[in-house]
Structure 1
């Protein structure tokens, strides 16, 4: 079987939800995403292709590792029922660098605000410390049959903020979830940055989205250095691999009646 066929077979075998398996295009997209995580182009992947459990995602990852399609360093985290395929060394390095160089922008989108505002990253200090400790422990884990459950500590975390950190975004949203899970982004113009590339293992040239994140348009100018640094770092990492090609970073503006974080 070709590399492409092995990836598709693993996805269709391990990731069924009920009687429904992933389609071939979905399987190929997932394969490209996981390969990008393995080669450090993105720190982690939040699995959302269907309703497969974190343990099913781990079985898929184990199958890929057994076939030597990806390295054994990748692992699956179960974060309050959300499954992430993680490159723990890459995530930890990314989070440490963002905080160490003050290159992470945290945007307060609390419902009580009239408009979103940049806030102090030190608000995330405790959560980030716990996350880094988790990642250091995860680096020591051996390939497992079950996903690594993050534990009760994660119940206190703002998952929207954590996902921004884990997925390698240069900006992440924060809100005080003890007050409300709603936000102030309704009808707020958002600049959406999308990075995509072509997976070379697919003869048809399957194109996948590596990153997609938003920034309130009113804050783009003040956060331009964060966005540019992220783009340059991505370009540098992209040039160090030969799994994906034709990197494209584009931006568009959207305004939505409601934004779910």
Structure 2
């Protein structure tokens, strides 16, 4: 079987829900995302292809590792019920950089009470505690060398702003924050947003497949203040892309959208 067929077979076997399997298109898209995490093009992926639980995602990852399609260093993590596949080395490095104020991430305050979004200190007390707690958990889990197991973070994350954390863990140069003790609503409705998307191509035996590596947004009003960070992120992505040979045709594009409501 080709690697493409093995990826599809693993998805069909491990990730079916109520006898419904992922389509071939979904299976290939997931395979490309996992490979991108394995090669360090992105630190993690949030599994949302269907309703498969974390145990199924873990079984899927193990099946790929057993035939050496991806490295055994990848881990699964259940974060407040959300299933992720992560590259722990890159995730921990990113978290360490934030704590050391080597800031490559912009945190944007989008509290509902604000007239316009604003940039806040990414290492304020609440964010710093959240980042530090996750880093400690990851270090301990990796050091224990828990083979074929999942890192579960459930009650510990009750006070975390998951919107901000997902942006950081998934490797975006910008992430949103709001005071969840006051409201989960935001001020992004009818706010022009600059959406950045990065895509690439995988040339498998069955043809070429284009997939989305990243997609994130930044309010236009903050474009000038964030341009340097986004340009740096773009440059690092291109450098990492040039170090691998599995994917080709990296394309980073931007467009402006305005939505009546934005769900974070």
Please say whether Structure 1 and Structure 2 have the same fold, judged by a TM-score greater than 0.5: yes
The answer to whether the Cα contact below 8 Å between 1:108 and 1:173 also exists between their aligned partners in 2 is yes
**SS of 2:131's equivalent?**
helix
Task: Return the alpha-carbon distance in structure 2 between the equivalents of residues 142 and 134 of structure 1.
Answer: 13
What's 2:164 paired with? 161
Match of 2:130 among 105, 127, 132: 127
**Unaligned stretches of 5+ residues in structure 1:** none
Task: Return the alpha-carbon distance in structure 2 between the equivalents of residues 68 and 228 of structure 1.
Answer: 35
Task: Return the alpha-carbon distance in structure 2 between the equivalents of residues 212 and 128 of structure 1.
Answer: 22
**SS of 2:71's equivalent?**
coil
* Structure 1 vs Structure 2 CA RMSD: 1.2
Deviation string 1:168-227 (CA, Å, 9 cap, x unpaired) is 001110001011111111111111100000113354111110000000111011100010
Deviation string 1:68-116 (CA, Å, 9 cap, x unpaired) is 1101100110011100000000111123234532221100001111111
What's 2:146 paired with? 142
| Aligned-residue offset at 1:151 | 3.2
1:117 aligns with 2:121: no
The answer to whether the Cα contact below 8 Å between 1:110 and 1:175 also exists between their aligned partners in 2 is yes
What's 1:63 paired with? 63
**Unaligned stretches of 5+ residues in structure 2:** none
What's 2:31 paired with? 31
The answer to whether the Cα contact below 8 Å between 2:81 and 2:154 also exists between their aligned partners in 1 is no
What's 1:40 paired with? 40
What's 2:203 paired with? 200
The answer to whether the Cα contact below 8 Å between 1:106 and 1:173 also exists between their aligned partners in 2 is yes
What's 2:78 paired with? 78
What's 2:109 paired with? 108
Task: Return the alpha-carbon distance in structure 2 between the equivalents of residues 193 and 95 of structure 1.
Answer: 22
**SS of 1:50's equivalent?**
coil
| Aligned-residue offset at 1:17 | 1.6
Deviation string 1:123-149 (CA, Å, 9 cap, x unpaired) is 2111111111122123233332x5321
Task: Return the alpha-carbon distance in structure 1 between the equivalents of residues 172 and 241 of structure 2.
Answer: 16
Moved over 4 A (4+): none
Deviation string 1:220-244 (CA, Å, 9 cap, x unpaired) is 1110001000000000111111111
**SS of 2:17's equivalent?**
coil
The answer to whether the Cα contact below 8 Å between 2:46 and 2:85 also exists between their aligned partners in 1 is yes
The answer to whether the Cα contact below 8 Å between 1:164 and 1:172 also exists between their aligned partners in 2 is yes
Task: Return the alpha-carbon distance in structure 1 between the equivalents of residues 234 and 68 of structure 2.
Answer: 30
**SS of 1:83's equivalent?**
strand
Task: Return the alpha-carbon distance in structure 1 between the equivalents of residues 244 and 45 of structure 2.
Answer: 18
